[in-house]
Amino acid sequence: MRVEIWMDVVCPWAYIGKRRVERAVADFDGDVEVVWRPYRIDPSAPVPGEPLAEVLRDPVADEALRACAPGLAPAENRLRVDLIAAKEGLGPPWGAAWRASSHDAHRLIALAEPAGVQDAVVEALLRAHFVDAVDISDREVLARVVGDVFPEGVALLDGDAGEERVRELLLEGRARGIRTSPTIVVGDRALAGAQPPEVIAEFLAEGGERRSVPSEVERYRWAESLLDQRDPLGALVLLRPLLSEHGSDRSVRLLAARAWYASAQLGRARAALEELVAAHPADAYAHVLLGRTLQRMSRGEQAGPHLRLGAAMAEPR
């Protein structure tokens, strides 16, 4: 069974959730493969990090911590998580000392997967942030943290290794409805939060498989979901390989045109839509979207025929 855990290494519930998943898996009757996926609770966290004690005096910055404990005030969450962490055998000492970007940490986690050391890297990063209380946005710190388990990993950070993978995974998570850290996913089912081990065990026992669809179709659906969530630039990131490999596909071109239109890349939208209406003159939606694109480009006279034609074709007969 493949278990995906979407989490941010700067979310304390992720560390608690890791311990609970480990206990549930230990008692599970069957083989379990755990893979770690990125989630960002504080995308604006800086490099280098800043002392967390100072940040927590700012009520606006403190709100970022709600993402890993929905429904709780940040101060209440911190007190609760301290007590629960102790019960899970984490610390002492316990507690993050830095508000730090987790971007490079997530790159390391992604790069560690094919190397077969992903879990060890996750454990090292979580311990560094919450027990050793170091700044995991600092690459020199990261080198010390993962040096024993993934020594080749930190050198990869000097280039762009893992950048595209992490960015796509973050977009995939958003498209799939991941909204909190941690979220455990088996097949098409998700369990949000660091649930007790018995709840996780029950969730695992129910099994589940991802719907068997071609990877291109899955990627298309994720891009469509992001566009529906008003993230056209994210949709275009996921569409990039589809446009490269299946650029002549009508559905792919139309979805890309919608994303270009929504992100005000009107020249690209117009070019794609003109090709579509030439190849598929009966596509009412393509005519309407082309008309709206031309309107936004202040080309009203050219827009009119497409808008009227699209409206006429859409009328019930």
Instruction: For domain 215-314, give the CATH number.
Output: 1.25.40.10
pTM: 0.88
Residues 6+ apart with CB under 8 A from 274: 290
Q: What is the band of 70 on the pLDDT scale with cuts at 50, 70, 90?
A: low
Q: What is the pLDDT of residues 161-186, one digit of tens each?
A: 999 999 999 999 999 999 999 999 99
Rg (CA), the chain: 23
State residue 54's pLDDT score: 82
Per-residue burial over 38-77, b if 16 or more Cβ lie within 10 Å, else e, is bbbbbeebeeebbebeebeeeeebbebbebbbeeeebeeb
Residues 161 and 150: their CA atoms lie apart, in Å, by 14
State residue 85's pLDDT score: 92
**Higher model confidence: residue 28 or residue 14?**
14
Tokens of 202: 């029950």
Residues 296 and 117: their CA atoms lie apart, in Å, by 51
Q: What is the pLDDT of residues 182-234, one digit of tens each?
A: 999 998 899 999 999 999 999 999 887 767 788 999 999 999 999 999 999 99
Please, what CATH class does the domain formed by 2-205 belong to? Answer: alpha beta
What are the domain boundaries of the chain? 2-205, 215-314
Taking residues 120-134, report their average pLDDT: 97
Average pLDDT taken over every residue of the chain: 91
Residues 37 and 125: their CA atoms lie apart, in Å, by 14
Task: Tell whether the torsion through CA atoms of 10, 101, 50 and 233 is positive or negative.
Answer: negative
Contact between 21 and 191 (Cβ < 8 Å): no
Question: What is the SS3 string spanning the chain?
Answer: CEEEEEECCCCHHHHHHHHHHHHHHHCCCCCCEEEEEECCCCCCCCCCCEEHHHHCCCHHHHHHHHHHCCCCCHHHHHHHHHHHHHHCCCCCCCCCCEECCCHHHHHHHHHHHHHCCHHHHHHHHHHHHHCCCCCCCCHHHHHHHHCCCCCCHHHHCCCCCCHHHHHHHHHHHHHCCCCCCCEEEECCEEEECCCCHHHHHHHHHCCCCCCCCCHHHHHHHHHHHHHHCCCHHHHHHHHHHHHHHHCCCHHHHHHHHHHHHHCCCHHHHHHHHHHHHHHCCCCHHHHHHHHHHHHHCCCHHHHHHHHHHHHHHHCCC
Residues 154 and 143: their CA atoms lie apart, in Å, by 6
